[in-house]
């Protein structure tokens, strides 16, 4: 009973009432007679008799299900209306008085080219049936379904396929998997039967899927046992509940269509579906009251399932919005870091003088995967291995050196802190721009730094498109073109403007040959830099974006604008207090002789950091941090362990030592109270000569 005093009726109560009606012998005899009379009248084409029973059967029927729907129209009302919760209204005629019809949503006439559809991904080509109820809810909740994806009618078939691949970039794991679009029809998935010459573009798709979910089925299986095992473990409780209720694994059935651990008969009915669907058992005939009951129960289930699916979709959408709002830059990077399989390792063999080519050889080996843990083996100039176990330090140093090389390479051009993509045919042919983008993603994913040298123009292009870019003449590094644009900028009248434009080959190629009035001057100064920095370098830019999009990284970068501080230069210098706070100090027992010595050296250390901040030492604070941790700044993901500060109680040792794997910085203690200058000199010498891993 609810708060208003009315008795609430559950779906099970309705089923019980209907079951009692259907089990009546008199009702079954009358219904059987009606069906037989209707069948006989159609075969003989005779006029129905005047009896009341035959009058009720003048509407042709072909099955018990249709006869039940005619006798009980409220079971299958229009628009899939949910029956009233009041038991007395359970068998009333369709559309009773006071029952409000569901209103169709009003469309915004200002957005005529957009339309929204739900999209579901099936990663096994064996899947042939639509998802319903809990199965569909599982798909949405686990990233295989997208609610209200926005399509455009003006899109081509290729643009639609590319958009769908970006929707499920995380599930496709960067694989180049082809897929097909299917239409749900009667519980079965069918291919669109288009007229000759018709393609599945945005307009056709909007018409075909007017009120249907778009199903996307991969033409080849996606094998990612590690990801699958993680998802199963994370949701073991929910999957176990589904298994107990349905006697099979929903995850296998819905997404993977794998028969591992799945009931064979159910798997066959799901993946090897025929046009007619599951066959009815010979024992279940029209004479069986159980068959009548199952038909009605199925009708009720379809109605309840419709609302359940909508409720699940709304819940998943609300949850996604909340999670997106709470998601931060750090949590996003951790999502990519958590993709790394710590049990598998890939080794880079690095020679510092040729680090870029060493990296390319590594990532192009067959065994490479971005999701394998990286181990770096450096060699010195005598080709002798440095023999270190990579616990993070060598990896951080490799990516630091790689990004430093990238910044000063011919792949980019511009000022020291603001680089744009250059245009080099050799780099394009060798796909070096792709490797540069992939290098940046791998660095951030595996605990390294961000590039922090991309120009704002370049970042805006890769994150928001060309419409968001406003490059200036100052960003052009070609001195001749820059001088030509300066002449245009300084042109005092139309005649001088035309002379400056006609004398420029670059502007002629860019399409500024005909200048009719002086107002075109500002347009030239705005469009010419965009042509030089973006339109001219488009092949290199697209290759760079392709590399950034491994594992769907670029899509995350577009969502979180905080990535800009990792990609572009920020004037955030280290301070003595910040460097000091990074380390935790390990001191000897209080009151001991060692403790007193350590406190004296700790004072030297803090004074050294202050002098470094004031440029009174040869080594900068970035050099100090790099010597101790193999990174000039604190990495976005931080360190695997808190950096430590310990002491070397050895009277003969005068220089600091570092273990960047842990990381630990060891300070020598063999100094008297009046020997700070000696301490500072030895610190500078050790840091500047031991910054490379293996020499600290």
Residue 583 lies in a domain: yes
So what's the pLDDT on residue 264?
37
pLDDT band at 606 (very low <50, low <70, confident <90, very high): very high
Q: What is the model's pLDDT at position 199?
A: 85
Mean pLDDT of 475-503: 85
Can you name the residues that pair with 120 across neighbouring β-strands? 145, 215
Q: Give CA–CA dist 547/560, Å, rounded.
A: 18
Same domain, 385 and 501: no
Compute the average pLDDT of residues 83-100.
44
Q: Is residue 268 part of a domain?
A: no
Give domain status of residue 489, yes or no.
yes
Q: Is the pLDDT of residue 235 over 60?
A: no
Confidence check: pLDDT of 637 > 50: yes
Cβ atoms of 392 and 413 within 8 Å: the answer is no
Give per-residue pLDDT as tens, 459-485: 999 998 888 889 988 898 988 888 888
Tell me, yes or no, whether 654 lies in a domain.
yes
How far apart are alpha carbons 205 and 160 in whole angstroms? 9
So what's the pLDDT on residue 459?
93
pLDDT value of position 63: 56
Do 446 and 483 sit in the same domain of this protein? Answer: no
Q: For a pLDDT cut of 70, what percent of the chain falls above it?
A: 69
Confidence of residue 8 (pLDDT cuts 50, 70, 90): low
Residue 293 predicted with pLDDT over 80: no
pLDDT value of position 212:
78
Number of H helices, E strands in the chain: 30, 13
Distance from C-alpha of 433 to C-alpha of 414, rounded to nearest angstrom: 16
As a whole number, mean pLDDT of residues 675-683 equals 90
Q: Residues 637, 600: one domain?
A: yes
Structural contact between residues 33 and 109, judged by C-beta atoms closer than 8 angstroms: no
Please report, for the domain that includes residue 168, its CATH number.
3.10.20
Instruction: Clarify whether residues 355 and 423 are in a common domain.
Output: yes
**Alpha carbon distances (Å) from 663 to 155, 628, 639:** 52, 7, 8
Asked if residue 554 and residue 424 are part of one domain, the reply reads: yes
- Alpha helices (runs of H) in 45-97, residue ranges in sequence order: 52-55, 64-71
Residue, of 654 and 602, whose pLDDT is higher: 602
Same domain, yes or no, for 501 and 447? Answer: no
Predicted confidence (pLDDT) at residue 291 exceeds the cutoff of 60 = no
The secondary element (H helix, E strand) that includes residue 454 is none
pLDDT value, residue 32 = 75
Is the predicted pLDDT of residue 636 greater than 50, yes or no? yes
CA–CA separation, 554 vs 560, rounded Å?
10
- Tell me: the pLDDT tens digits for 323-370? 444 457 888 888 899 999 988 999 999 888 899 999 999 999 999 999
Looking at residue 102, its pLDDT comes to 52
Percentage with pLDDT > 90 across the chain:
22
Given 218, 233, 260, which residue is the final one in a domain?
218
User: DSSP labels for 208-236?
Assistant: HTSSSPEEEEESS----HHHHHHHHHHTH
Kindly state whether residue 554 falls inside one of the protein's structural domains.
Answer: yes
What pLDDT was estimated at residue 611? 93
- Average pLDDT in the chain: 75
Q: What is the C-alpha separation between 433 and 417, in angstroms, rounded?
A: 19
421 and 489 together in one domain: no
Say what the pLDDT of residue 441 is: 95
Total domains in the fold of the chain: 4
Averaged pLDDT for residues 668-684? 89
At residue 591, the pLDDT reads: 85
* Domain end call among 487, 515, 537: 537
pLDDT at 208: 82
Average pLDDT on 611-621 reads 92
Q: Mean pLDDT over residues 598-607, rounded?
A: 91
pLDDT bucket at 73, cuts 50 / 70 / 90 = low
Instruction: Decide: 194 and 220 in contact? Cβ < 8 Å.
Output: no
**Amino acid 274: pLDDT:** 39
Looking at the structure, tell me whether residues 457 and 496 fall in a common domain: no
pLDDT at 100 over 60: no
For the segment 656-680, the average pLDDT, to the nearest whole number, is: 86
pLDDT grade for 128, boundaries at 50, 70 and 90: confident
Residue 254 lies in a domain: no
Please check whether residue 266 lies inside any domain of the structure: no
Structure confidence at residue 138 (pLDDT): 84
Mean pLDDT of 258-281: 40
Q: Do both 614 and 686 map to the same domain?
A: yes
The answer to pTM > 0.85 is: no
Mean local confidence (pLDDT), 73-93: 44
Tell me whether strands 341-351 and 179-185 are parallel, antiparallel or unpaired.
unpaired
240-268 pLDDT, tens digit per residue, is 333 334 434 444 444 444 433 334 343 33
Do 518 and 408 sit in the same domain of this protein?
no
Which domain, by its residues, includes 612? 576-691
**At which of 186, 218, 250 does a domain end?**
218
What local confidence, expressed as pLDDT, does residue 467 receive?
Answer: 87
Specify whether 586 is located in the same domain as 443: no
pLDDT tens digits for range 411-428 = 999 998 999 999 999 999
More confident residue, 158 or 361: 361
485: phi then psi, degrees, rounded to nearest 5: -70, -30
CATH assignment at residue 378: 3.90.1750.10
**Dist. CA 496–CA 490, nearest whole Å:** 9
Read off the CATH number of the domain in which 676 is found.
3.30.2410.10
pLDDT in tens, 552-590: 999 888 888 888 889 999 888 889 999 999 899 988 888
Decide if 419 is inside a domain. yes
- Give the closest residue to 310 by CA, choosing from 168, 132, 102, 74: 132
Number of Cβ within 10 Å of residue 392's Cβ equals: 24
Q: What's the chain's Rg over C-alpha atoms?
A: 36
Q: Tell me: pLDDT of 442 over 70.
A: yes
* pLDDT of res. 253: 41
pLDDT score of 59: 45
Give the residue from 329, 558, 541 showing the smallest Cα distance to 463: 558
| Pairing mode of beta strands 372-379, 341-351 | parallel
Query: How do beta strands 145-152 and 657-659 pair?
Result: unpaired
State yes or no: pLDDT of 632 exceeds 60: yes
Please indicate, yes or no, whether residues 432 and 559 belong to a single structural domain of this protein: yes
- Which residues, 6 or more positions from 238, have their beta carbon under 8 angstroms from its beta carbon? 138
């Amino acid at each position: 009973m609810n708060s208003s005093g009315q008795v609430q009726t559950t779906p099970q109560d309705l089923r019980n009432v209907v079951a009692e009606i259907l089990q009546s012998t008199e009702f079954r005899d009358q219904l059987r007679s009606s069906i037989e009379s209707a069948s006989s009248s159609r075969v003989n084409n005779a006029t129905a008799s005047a009896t009341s029973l035959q009058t009720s059967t003048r509407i042709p029927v072909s099955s018990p299900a249709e006869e039940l729907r005619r006798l009980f129209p409220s079971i299958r009302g229009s628009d899939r209306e949910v029956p009233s919760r009041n038991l007395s209204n359970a068998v009333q005629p369709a559309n009773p008085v006071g029952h409000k019809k569901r209103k169709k949503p009003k469309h915004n006439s200002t957005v005529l080219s957009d339309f929204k559809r739900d999209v579901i991904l099936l990663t096994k080509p064996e899947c042939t049936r639509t998802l319903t109820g809990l199965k569909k809810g599982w798909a949405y909740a686990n990233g295989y379904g997208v609610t209200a994806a926005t399509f455009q009618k003006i899109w081509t078939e290729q643009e639609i396929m590319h958009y769908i691949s970006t929707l499920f970039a995380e599930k496709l794991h960067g694989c180049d998997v082809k897929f097909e679009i299917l239409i749900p029809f009667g519980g079965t998935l069918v291919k669109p039967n288009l007229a000759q010459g018709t393609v599945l573009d945005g307009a056709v798709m909007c018409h075909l899927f007017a009120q249907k979910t778009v199903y996307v089925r991969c033409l080849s299986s996606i094998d990612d046992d590690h990801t699958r095992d993680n998802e199963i473990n994370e949701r073991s409780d929910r999957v176990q509940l589904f298994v107990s209720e349905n006697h099979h694994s929903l995850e296998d059935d819905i997404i993977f269509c794998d028969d591992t651990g799945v009931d064979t008969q159910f798997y066959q009915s799901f993946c090897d579906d025929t046009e007619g669907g599951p066959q009815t058992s010979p024992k279940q005939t029209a004479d069986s009251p159980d068959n009548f009951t199952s038909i009605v129960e199925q009708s009720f289930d379809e109605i309840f399932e419709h609302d359940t699916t909508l409720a699940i979709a709304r819940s998943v959408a609300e949850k996604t919005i909340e999670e997106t709002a709470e998601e931060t830059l750090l949590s996003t990077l951790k999502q990519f870091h958590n993709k790394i399989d710590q049990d598998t390792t890939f080794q880079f063999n690095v020679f510092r003088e040729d680090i870029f080519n060493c990296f390319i050889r590594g990532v192009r080996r067959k065994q490479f995967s971005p999701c394998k843990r990286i181990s770096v083996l450096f060699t010195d100039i005598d080709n002798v291995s440095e023999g270190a176990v990579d616990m993070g330090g060598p990896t951080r140093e490799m990516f630091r050196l790689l990004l430093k090389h990238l910044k000063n390479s011919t792949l980019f051009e511009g000022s020291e802190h603001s680089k744009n993509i250059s245009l080099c045919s050799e780099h394009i042919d060798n796909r070096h721009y792709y490797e540069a983008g992939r290098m940046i993603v791998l660095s951030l994913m595996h605990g390294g730094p961000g590039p922090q040298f991309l120009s704002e123009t370049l970042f805006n292009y890769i994150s928001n498109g060309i419409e968001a870019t406003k490059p200036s003449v100052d960003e052009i590094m070609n001195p001749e073109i820059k001088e030509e644009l300066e002449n245009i900028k300084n042109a005092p009248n139309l005649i001088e403007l035309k002379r400056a434009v006609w004398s420029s080959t670059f502007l002629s190629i860019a399409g500024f040959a005909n200048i009719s009035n002086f107002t075109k001057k500002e347009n030239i100064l705005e469009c010419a830099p965009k042509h030089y920095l973006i339109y001219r370098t488009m092949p290199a830019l697209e290759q760079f974006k392709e590399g950034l999009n491994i594992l769907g990284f670029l899509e995350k970068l577009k969502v979180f604008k905080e990535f800009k501080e990792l990609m572009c230069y920020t004037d955030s210098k280290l301070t003595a207090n910040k460097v000091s706070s990074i380390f935790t100090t390990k001191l000897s027992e209080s009151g001991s002789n060692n403790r007193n010595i350590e406190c004296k050296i700790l004072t030297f250390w803090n004074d050294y950091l202050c002098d470094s901040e004031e440029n009174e030492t040869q080594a900068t604070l970035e050099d100090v941090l790099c010597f101790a941790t193999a990174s000039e700044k604190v990495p976005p993901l931080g360190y695997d362990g808190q950096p430590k500060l310990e002491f070397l109680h050895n009277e003969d040792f005068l220089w600091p030592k570092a273990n960047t794997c842990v990381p630990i910085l060891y300070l020598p203690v063999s100094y008297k109270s009046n020997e700070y200058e000696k301490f500072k000199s030895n610190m500078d010498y050790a840091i500047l000569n031991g910054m490379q891993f293996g020499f600290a």
